Structure 1
């Protein structure tokens, strides 16, 4: 067990509380046509709910842990975070497109990252009444019940939540071995679906960010799965660049098959 296990357990309790409060705020805007803007850099949407949830998280978390750094999708990046050994990595609403479209598969994502790896994480999906959480030395939980990645029979098709344009890269001889599950816009929620065994795995297109991944990464890891890059290595967070290349996520059997079924970069 990590020597800091008690510390991460306390941090997990803190981020669960903060994420639940932020989720209540976001849910108050859900289905009510909140004001939406479009970011100039990548033309992705952001709503008034994102900012309100972000403000709640930033206030609660940094008041409780003033020595921690801060990285959030909805806050201007402060490179001072690079000098902090521990920081919060936050997406106040992961799946904003789903949120503004009235779909329930969006979540508040909060992680504690220490020396480049997540050590505690929570995903709160208030419209679904779901919470996923995990910390080093503890099991992954969904609504306080332990979860684990899938363990299918060898002949079962591989259940993947991927976009249709990714599935076309599956090699022809393996296409009958893959069952596509409807794509879920929230990347964090897709990884949570992998953690609880709803699906076997997913492919993450290039240019995901730390805030999309960190909380779900520790949850998936503690559920027995992995999130890895094209080389099969675990991700490092809180670098100068917070973007990532093509990633694979899943239970061990799924990662083995994904390496066999698809090229290293199925989106390039």
Structure 2
């Protein structure tokens, strides 16, 4: 598989960060601060520690690449780099604080503006999604995830996933949306009512990869997104580009 070094570093980094997040998640031993005076953007010690682990692993392995993370002061020199790592060290912080297990760590490597590597990890569910441009999309869960380091390239190929075929009609389709958005927006409520089923997940990255694996057919969101949210869409695009229909 191409990009083996990038995968090795990125996957090792998210697994290490995931262990730390789970300790915070179980013990609740973190402080919460807010980026906004309105209390809309919480950040915890877990966010910061996860970011430190990811940056340490990735930047030390690829010192010439750019770095862009929600929890790192932006260095505009990244705009001069051909390759940039775009990171959300804890996507779904509000869910994390509430004790909801639907949070993720998400990473994308973009080269000349094109996503070439994507990794999304949900630590509580032990779900690791990863893909590289032109080499397929993969999902490891539970025991297979724990045995990942012992698998050879041929065995890894057995875990490639393919997006399910689209439903024949809107009435058969499954859509992912935010429960809060639906409750607050009558137009969105009417829209999702036209679909066969509405499902809910918290992290935007988790929602997106859920579409990639066929758990749902589409995602709708009306809330504004930051750059570190949009990079999750990069990864989803990468995952879907690597799936055969």
TM-score by length of 1: 0.74
Per-residue CA deviations over 1:166-219 (Å, capped at 9, x if unaligned) read: 57436969844342112x220000001111111111023353133224255334
With over 3 angstroms needed to count, the CA separation of the structure-2 counterparts of 1:171 and 1:162, relative to structure 1, is: closer
Does the alignment pair 1:109 with 2:127? no
Q: What is the DSSP-based 3-state SS (H/G/I as helix, E as strand, rest coil) of the residue aligned with 2:26?
A: coil
1:98 to 67, 72, 95: 95
Q: What is the DSSP-based 3-state SS (H/G/I as helix, E as strand, rest coil) of the residue aligned with 1:109?
A: strand
Does the alignment pair 1:146 with 2:142? no
With over 3 angstroms needed to count, the CA separation of the structure-2 counterparts of 1:153 and 1:79, relative to structure 1, is: closer
CA contact (8 A) 2:122 2:128 kept: yes
Kindly report which structure 2 residues correspond to 1:222-261, keeping only aligned pairs within 5 A, or say none: 222-224=239-241
Does the alignment pair 1:71 with 2:68? yes
User: What is residue 188 of structure 1 aligned with on the other side?
Assistant: 205
1:199 to 201, 208, 216: 216
Does the alignment pair 1:162 with 2:177? yes
Q: What is the DSSP-based 3-state SS (H/G/I as helix, E as strand, rest coil) of the residue aligned with 1:197?
A: coil
1:39 to 35, 39, 53: 35
CA contact (8 A) 1:149 1:195 kept: yes
Q: What is the DSSP-based 3-state SS (H/G/I as helix, E as strand, rest coil) of the residue aligned with 2:163?
A: coil
With over 3 angstroms needed to count, the CA separation of the structure-2 counterparts of 1:101 and 1:206, relative to structure 1, is: closer
Moved over 4 A (4+): 170-174
Aligned counterparts of 2:8 and 2:196: Cα–Cα separation in 1: 38
Aligned counterparts of 1:220 and 1:119: Cα–Cα separation in 2: 10
Structure 1 residue 40: deviation in Å? Answer: 2.0
Per-residue CA deviations over 1:63-104 (Å, capped at 9, x if unaligned) read: 111101110000111111111110111111111111111111
Aligned counterparts of 1:23 and 1:91: Cα–Cα separation in 2: 12
Per-residue CA deviations over 1:116-158 (Å, capped at 9, x if unaligned) read: 1211011111111110000112111110522222325414522
Aligned counterparts of 1:53 and 1:181: Cα–Cα separation in 2: 28
User: What is residue 11 of structure 1 aligned with on the other side?
Assistant: 6
> How many residue pairs end up in the alignment?
222
Q: Which moved more, 1:14-23 or 1:150-159?
A: 150-159
CA contact (8 A) 1:121 1:214 kept: no
CA contact (8 A) 1:124 1:131 kept: yes
TM-score by length of 2: 0.80
CA contact (8 A) 1:150 1:197 kept: yes
Structure 1 residue 59: deviation in Å? Answer: 0.9
